[in-house]
Amino acid sequence: MQTLTLTRPDDFHLHVRDGAALKAVVPYTARQMGRALIMPNLKPPVTTVAQALAYKQEISAAVPAGLDFEPLMCLYLTDKTTPDLVREAKAAGIVAFKLYPAGATTNSDSGVTDLFKLLPVLQAMAEEGVRFLVHGEVTDPDIDIFDREAVFIERVMKPVLAQVPDLKVVFEHITTAEAARLVMEAGGNVAATVTPQHLLLNRNDLLVGGVRPHHYCLPVLKRESHRRALVEAVTGSQSHKFFLGTDSAPHVQTAKENACGCAGMFSAMNAIGLYAEVFEAAGALDKLEAFAAQNGARFYGLPQNSGRITLVKQAEQVPQSVPFGDGQLVPMRAGGEVAWRVAAE
Protein backbone atom coordinates (compact mmCIF):
# COMPACT_ATOMS: atom_id res chain seq x y z
CA MET A 1 0.00 0.00 0.00
CA GLN A 2 1.40 3.40 -0.96
CA THR A 3 1.88 5.87 1.90
CA LEU A 4 3.07 9.47 2.10
CA THR A 5 4.16 11.16 5.32
CA LEU A 6 4.06 14.96 5.50
CA THR A 7 4.66 17.73 7.97
CA ARG A 8 1.23 18.52 9.39
CA PRO A 9 -0.40 20.94 6.89
CA ASP A 10 -1.99 24.35 7.36
CA ASP A 11 -5.18 25.65 5.76
CA PHE A 12 -4.66 29.34 5.09
CA HIS A 13 -8.27 30.01 4.03
CA LEU A 14 -11.13 28.45 5.99
CA HIS A 15 -14.73 29.25 6.87
CA VAL A 16 -16.23 27.61 9.97
CA ARG A 17 -19.28 29.83 10.62
CA ASP A 18 -20.34 30.00 14.30
CA GLY A 19 -22.61 28.37 16.86
CA ALA A 20 -23.73 24.80 16.26
CA ALA A 21 -22.50 24.91 12.66
CA LEU A 22 -18.98 25.73 13.87
CA LYS A 23 -18.99 22.81 16.29
CA ALA A 24 -19.96 20.49 13.45
CA VAL A 25 -17.17 21.44 11.03
CA VAL A 26 -14.11 22.43 13.08
CA PRO A 27 -13.20 18.80 13.94
CA TYR A 28 -12.80 17.89 10.24
CA THR A 29 -10.05 20.48 9.80
CA ALA A 30 -8.43 19.87 13.20
CA ARG A 31 -7.89 16.19 12.35
CA GLN A 32 -5.79 17.08 9.28
CA MET A 33 -4.32 20.55 9.83
CA GLY A 34 -2.09 22.07 12.46
CA ARG A 35 -3.44 25.59 11.87
CA ALA A 36 -6.11 27.32 9.85
CA LEU A 37 -6.63 30.96 8.98
CA ILE A 38 -10.27 31.69 9.79
CA MET A 39 -12.24 33.99 7.52
CA PRO A 40 -14.14 36.86 9.19
CA ASN A 41 -17.31 37.09 7.08
CA LEU A 42 -19.80 36.22 9.77
CA LYS A 43 -23.05 38.08 10.40
CA PRO A 44 -22.08 40.59 11.73
CA PRO A 45 -18.53 40.48 10.36
CA VAL A 46 -15.46 40.21 12.58
CA THR A 47 -14.15 43.78 12.44
CA THR A 48 -12.58 44.34 15.87
CA VAL A 49 -9.77 42.72 17.82
CA ALA A 50 -12.14 41.84 20.65
CA GLN A 51 -14.49 40.04 18.25
CA ALA A 52 -11.60 38.11 16.69
CA LEU A 53 -10.23 36.96 20.03
CA ALA A 54 -13.67 35.86 21.21
CA TYR A 55 -14.18 34.00 17.93
CA LYS A 56 -10.81 32.29 18.37
CA GLN A 57 -11.88 31.02 21.79
CA GLU A 58 -15.13 29.66 20.35
CA ILE A 59 -13.23 27.78 17.64
CA SER A 60 -10.63 26.40 20.07
CA ALA A 61 -13.40 25.09 22.31
CA ALA A 62 -14.73 23.03 19.40
CA VAL A 63 -11.42 21.22 18.77
CA PRO A 64 -11.63 17.57 19.87
CA ALA A 65 -9.54 16.65 22.89
CA GLY A 66 -6.02 15.51 22.09
CA LEU A 67 -5.67 17.40 18.81
CA ASP A 68 -3.06 20.14 18.43
CA PHE A 69 -4.80 22.79 16.32
CA GLU A 70 -4.46 26.57 16.31
CA PRO A 71 -6.92 28.97 14.66
CA LEU A 72 -5.23 32.01 13.14
CA MET A 73 -7.38 35.12 13.00
CA CYS A 74 -7.92 37.96 10.56
CA LEU A 75 -10.18 40.99 10.49
CA TYR A 76 -12.75 42.03 7.91
CA LEU A 77 -11.61 45.15 6.05
CA THR A 78 -14.28 47.84 5.79
CA ASP A 79 -14.47 51.41 4.56
CA LYS A 80 -14.06 52.45 8.22
CA THR A 81 -10.89 50.49 8.99
CA THR A 82 -8.09 52.74 10.29
CA PRO A 83 -4.29 52.51 10.52
CA ASP A 84 -4.66 52.49 14.32
CA LEU A 85 -6.76 49.32 14.07
CA VAL A 86 -4.02 47.70 12.01
CA ARG A 87 -1.49 48.45 14.74
CA GLU A 88 -3.86 47.20 17.45
CA ALA A 89 -4.47 44.00 15.49
CA LYS A 90 -0.75 43.38 15.04
CA ALA A 91 -0.13 43.78 18.76
CA ALA A 92 -2.91 41.28 19.52
CA GLY A 93 -1.55 38.59 17.21
CA ILE A 94 -4.05 39.10 14.37
CA VAL A 95 -2.18 38.03 11.24
CA ALA A 96 -4.17 39.62 8.41
CA PHE A 97 -7.01 41.75 7.09
CA LYS A 98 -9.37 40.38 4.46
CA LEU A 99 -10.65 42.37 1.51
CA TYR A 100 -14.15 41.53 0.32
CA PRO A 101 -15.22 43.91 -2.44
CA ALA A 102 -18.76 44.85 -1.46
CA GLY A 103 -21.20 42.32 -2.89
CA ALA A 104 -18.54 39.93 -4.20
CA THR A 105 -19.49 36.80 -2.26
CA THR A 106 -21.25 35.38 0.83
CA ASN A 107 -21.67 37.95 3.63
CA SER A 108 -19.72 40.64 1.77
CA ASP A 109 -22.30 43.41 2.08
CA SER A 110 -20.06 45.22 4.57
CA GLY A 111 -17.08 45.01 2.22
CA VAL A 112 -14.96 47.76 0.73
CA THR A 113 -16.50 50.09 -1.84
CA ASP A 114 -13.28 51.88 -2.90
CA LEU A 115 -9.98 50.28 -1.93
CA PHE A 116 -7.94 53.27 -3.07
CA LYS A 117 -9.45 55.36 -0.26
CA LEU A 118 -7.82 52.91 2.17
CA LEU A 119 -4.24 53.34 0.94
CA PRO A 120 -3.12 54.70 4.38
CA VAL A 121 -4.51 51.51 5.93
CA LEU A 122 -2.63 49.36 3.43
CA GLN A 123 0.53 51.32 4.14
CA ALA A 124 0.10 50.60 7.84
CA MET A 125 -0.25 46.89 7.01
CA ALA A 126 3.00 47.04 5.05
CA GLU A 127 4.77 48.78 7.93
CA GLU A 128 3.46 46.31 10.53
CA GLY A 129 3.95 43.18 8.43
CA VAL A 130 0.24 42.35 8.56
CA ARG A 131 -0.84 40.30 5.55
CA PHE A 132 -3.44 41.63 3.13
CA LEU A 133 -5.81 38.91 1.92
CA VAL A 134 -7.60 39.70 -1.31
CA HIS A 135 -10.83 38.34 -2.74
CA GLY A 136 -9.82 39.42 -6.21
CA GLU A 137 -12.96 40.19 -8.16
CA VAL A 138 -14.62 43.34 -9.40
CA THR A 139 -18.37 43.53 -8.86
CA ASP A 140 -19.42 45.83 -11.70
CA PRO A 141 -22.63 44.46 -13.21
CA ASP A 142 -21.31 45.08 -16.73
CA ILE A 143 -18.37 42.68 -16.23
CA ASP A 144 -18.95 39.05 -17.12
CA ILE A 145 -18.73 36.87 -14.00
CA PHE A 146 -16.05 34.71 -15.66
CA ASP A 147 -13.89 37.83 -16.22
CA ARG A 148 -14.15 39.42 -12.78
CA GLU A 149 -10.79 38.16 -11.56
CA ALA A 150 -8.85 39.16 -14.67
CA VAL A 151 -10.38 42.65 -14.62
CA PHE A 152 -9.60 43.03 -10.90
CA ILE A 153 -5.94 42.37 -11.62
CA GLU A 154 -5.73 45.29 -14.05
CA ARG A 155 -8.04 47.74 -12.28
CA VAL A 156 -7.09 47.11 -8.66
CA MET A 157 -4.30 44.64 -7.92
CA LYS A 158 -1.56 46.08 -10.12
CA PRO A 159 -2.22 49.72 -9.15
CA VAL A 160 -2.29 48.85 -5.42
CA LEU A 161 0.98 46.93 -5.65
CA ALA A 162 2.53 49.88 -7.48
CA GLN A 163 1.42 52.34 -4.79
CA VAL A 164 2.22 50.14 -1.76
CA PRO A 165 5.12 48.03 -3.07
CA ASP A 166 6.07 46.51 0.32
CA LEU A 167 2.56 45.22 1.09
CA LYS A 168 2.50 41.47 1.70
CA VAL A 169 -0.46 40.24 -0.36
CA VAL A 170 -2.16 36.87 -0.57
CA PHE A 171 -4.27 36.62 -3.70
CA GLU A 172 -6.91 34.27 -2.34
CA HIS A 173 -8.46 31.27 -4.11
CA ILE A 174 -7.09 32.19 -7.53
CA THR A 175 -8.97 30.74 -10.49
CA THR A 176 -7.32 31.99 -13.67
CA ALA A 177 -4.11 31.77 -15.67
CA GLU A 178 -3.90 35.57 -15.39
CA ALA A 179 -3.84 35.41 -11.58
CA ALA A 180 -1.24 32.65 -11.54
CA ARG A 181 0.93 34.65 -13.91
CA LEU A 182 0.62 37.82 -11.79
CA VAL A 183 1.76 35.96 -8.68
CA MET A 184 4.68 34.30 -10.46
CA GLU A 185 5.88 37.58 -11.95
CA ALA A 186 5.43 39.66 -8.79
CA GLY A 187 8.00 40.10 -6.04
CA GLY A 188 8.39 37.93 -2.99
CA ASN A 189 5.72 39.96 -1.19
CA VAL A 190 2.93 38.41 -3.32
CA ALA A 191 1.64 34.85 -2.93
CA ALA A 192 -1.61 32.96 -3.52
CA THR A 193 -3.82 30.27 -2.09
CA VAL A 194 -5.43 27.69 -4.36
CA THR A 195 -8.49 25.58 -3.52
CA PRO A 196 -9.06 21.90 -4.25
CA GLN A 197 -12.12 22.67 -6.37
CA HIS A 198 -10.25 25.04 -8.67
CA LEU A 199 -7.50 22.45 -9.13
CA LEU A 200 -9.88 19.55 -9.76
CA LEU A 201 -12.96 21.04 -11.46
CA ASN A 202 -13.85 23.35 -14.33
CA ARG A 203 -17.05 25.10 -15.30
CA ASN A 204 -18.36 22.03 -17.10
CA ASP A 205 -18.59 20.41 -13.67
CA LEU A 206 -20.91 23.23 -12.67
CA LEU A 207 -23.11 23.49 -15.76
CA VAL A 208 -23.06 20.40 -18.00
CA GLY A 209 -26.07 18.15 -17.52
CA GLY A 210 -27.85 20.74 -15.41
CA VAL A 211 -26.73 23.22 -12.78
CA ARG A 212 -24.96 21.49 -9.90
CA PRO A 213 -25.50 23.74 -6.89
CA HIS A 214 -22.88 22.04 -4.72
CA HIS A 215 -20.23 22.98 -7.32
CA TYR A 216 -21.22 26.64 -7.19
CA CYS A 217 -18.58 28.76 -5.49
CA LEU A 218 -17.17 32.26 -5.83
CA PRO A 219 -14.97 32.94 -7.63
CA VAL A 220 -16.85 30.68 -10.00
CA LEU A 221 -15.18 27.67 -11.64
CA LYS A 222 -13.45 28.60 -14.90
CA ARG A 223 -12.43 26.97 -18.21
CA GLU A 224 -10.31 23.82 -18.31
CA SER A 225 -7.36 25.87 -19.61
CA HIS A 226 -7.39 27.89 -16.39
CA ARG A 227 -7.59 24.76 -14.22
CA ARG A 228 -4.53 23.38 -15.99
CA ALA A 229 -2.69 26.65 -15.51
CA LEU A 230 -3.33 26.47 -11.76
CA VAL A 231 -2.03 22.89 -11.58
CA GLU A 232 1.08 23.97 -13.47
CA ALA A 233 1.54 26.88 -11.07
CA VAL A 234 1.39 24.81 -7.87
CA THR A 235 3.70 22.13 -9.28
CA GLY A 236 6.07 24.24 -11.43
CA SER A 237 9.25 26.23 -10.98
CA GLN A 238 7.51 29.04 -9.06
CA SER A 239 5.46 26.69 -6.87
CA HIS A 240 6.95 28.17 -3.67
CA LYS A 241 4.62 31.17 -4.15
CA PHE A 242 1.46 29.06 -3.82
CA PHE A 243 0.03 27.29 -0.81
CA LEU A 244 -2.95 25.44 0.59
CA GLY A 245 -6.14 27.39 1.25
CA THR A 246 -9.30 25.34 0.86
CA ASP A 247 -11.88 28.14 1.07
CA SER A 248 -14.01 25.36 2.52
CA ALA A 249 -17.34 27.10 3.04
CA PRO A 250 -20.12 25.11 4.70
CA HIS A 251 -23.77 25.89 3.94
CA VAL A 252 -26.81 23.95 5.03
CA GLN A 253 -28.10 21.74 2.21
CA THR A 254 -31.41 23.60 1.87
CA ALA A 255 -29.55 26.88 1.30
CA LYS A 256 -27.57 25.35 -1.57
CA GLU A 257 -30.46 23.52 -3.20
CA ASN A 258 -33.00 26.26 -3.83
CA ALA A 259 -33.94 28.87 -6.42
CA CYS A 260 -31.04 31.10 -5.36
CA GLY A 261 -28.39 28.71 -4.08
CA CYS A 262 -25.55 30.24 -2.09
CA ALA A 263 -21.88 30.08 -3.06
CA GLY A 264 -19.38 27.80 -1.38
CA MET A 265 -18.04 24.24 -1.39
CA PHE A 266 -17.35 22.22 1.74
CA SER A 267 -14.03 20.44 1.19
CA ALA A 268 -12.69 20.33 4.76
CA MET A 269 -13.78 16.72 5.32
CA ASN A 270 -11.21 15.29 2.85
CA ALA A 271 -9.10 18.33 2.01
CA ILE A 272 -5.60 16.89 2.09
CA GLY A 273 -6.72 13.78 0.21
CA LEU A 274 -8.21 15.90 -2.56
CA TYR A 275 -4.98 17.87 -2.91
CA ALA A 276 -3.00 14.62 -2.98
CA GLU A 277 -5.05 13.54 -6.01
CA VAL A 278 -4.07 16.74 -7.82
CA PHE A 279 -0.37 16.37 -7.15
CA GLU A 280 -0.37 12.65 -7.95
CA ALA A 281 -2.12 13.23 -11.30
CA ALA A 282 0.52 15.87 -12.12
CA GLY A 283 3.35 13.51 -11.20
CA ALA A 284 4.37 15.87 -8.41
CA LEU A 285 3.58 14.14 -5.11
CA ASP A 286 7.05 15.18 -3.97
CA LYS A 287 5.86 18.83 -4.02
CA LEU A 288 2.71 18.31 -1.94
CA GLU A 289 4.45 18.80 1.40
CA ALA A 290 5.85 22.20 0.40
CA PHE A 291 2.45 23.36 -0.87
CA ALA A 292 0.57 22.06 2.16
CA ALA A 293 2.97 22.66 5.03
CA GLN A 294 5.91 24.89 4.13
CA ASN A 295 5.14 27.67 1.63
CA GLY A 296 2.32 29.26 3.60
CA ALA A 297 4.10 29.09 6.94
CA ARG A 298 7.13 30.76 5.39
CA PHE A 299 5.06 33.55 3.82
CA TYR A 300 3.31 34.26 7.13
CA GLY A 301 6.58 34.14 9.08
CA LEU A 302 5.45 31.13 11.11
CA PRO A 303 7.38 28.00 12.08
CA GLN A 304 6.41 24.79 10.35
CA ASN A 305 4.18 22.51 12.40
CA SER A 306 6.09 19.99 14.49
CA GLY A 307 3.63 17.14 13.96
CA ARG A 308 3.29 14.89 10.93
CA ILE A 309 0.47 13.07 9.18
CA THR A 310 0.54 9.99 6.98
CA LEU A 311 -1.62 9.64 3.88
CA VAL A 312 -2.57 6.21 2.59
CA LYS A 313 -3.43 5.46 -1.04
CA GLN A 314 -6.73 3.85 -0.16
CA ALA A 315 -10.09 5.03 -1.45
CA GLU A 316 -12.34 6.61 1.14
CA GLN A 317 -16.08 6.88 0.63
CA VAL A 318 -17.53 10.37 1.04
CA PRO A 319 -20.97 10.44 2.69
CA GLN A 320 -23.93 11.98 0.89
CA SER A 321 -24.33 14.44 3.77
CA VAL A 322 -23.34 15.02 7.40
CA PRO A 323 -25.08 16.79 10.30
CA PHE A 324 -24.71 20.57 10.30
CA GLY A 325 -26.46 22.44 13.08
CA ASP A 326 -30.17 21.80 12.61
CA GLY A 327 -29.72 20.63 9.00
CA GLN A 328 -27.44 18.65 6.71
CA LEU A 329 -24.21 19.58 4.93
CA VAL A 330 -23.21 18.11 1.55
CA PRO A 331 -19.42 17.68 1.26
CA MET A 332 -17.35 17.97 -1.88
CA ARG A 333 -17.58 14.73 -3.88
CA ALA A 334 -20.56 13.52 -1.86
CA GLY A 335 -21.40 9.90 -2.65
CA GLY A 336 -18.07 9.37 -4.41
CA GLU A 337 -14.56 8.46 -3.29
CA VAL A 338 -11.32 10.27 -2.50
CA ALA A 339 -8.24 8.27 -3.49
CA TRP A 340 -6.12 9.24 -0.47
CA ARG A 341 -7.05 9.25 3.20
CA VAL A 342 -5.34 10.25 6.44
CA ALA A 343 -4.08 7.15 8.27
CA ALA A 344 -5.36 6.62 11.80
CA GLU A 345 -2.85 7.68 14.41
341 is in an annotated binding site: no
85 is in an annotated binding site: no
135 is in an annotated binding site: yes
Nearest 5°: the CA angle 150, 13, 309 is 130
- Preceding amide of 319 cis, omega within 30: no
247 is in an annotated binding site: yes
- Preceding amide of 44 cis, omega within 30: yes
13 is in an annotated binding site: yes
**Pick the catalytic residue: 109, 247, 286, 326?**
247
* DSSP per residue, 71-132: EEEEEE--TT--HHHHHHHHHTT--EEEE-BTTSSTT-TTSBS-GGGGHHHHHHHHHHT-EE
218 is in an annotated binding site: yes
User: CA nearest 341: which of 2, 46, 104?
Assistant: 2
65 is in an annotated binding site: no
173 is in an annotated binding site: yes
Tell me whether residue 247 is one of the annotated catalytic residues.
yes
208 is in an annotated binding site: no
The CA distance from 252 to 326, in Å, is 9
17 is in an annotated binding site: yes
Which 3 state secondary structure label does DSSP give 312? Answer: strand
Torsion of CA 257, 144, 11, 121, to 10 degrees: -120
198 is in an annotated binding site: no
Q: Enumerate the known binding-site residues.
A: 13, 15-17, 41, 98, 135, 173, 218, 247, 251, 263
What are the catalytic residues? 247
Q: Enumerate the known binding-site residues for substrate.
A: 15-17, 41, 135, 218, 251, 263
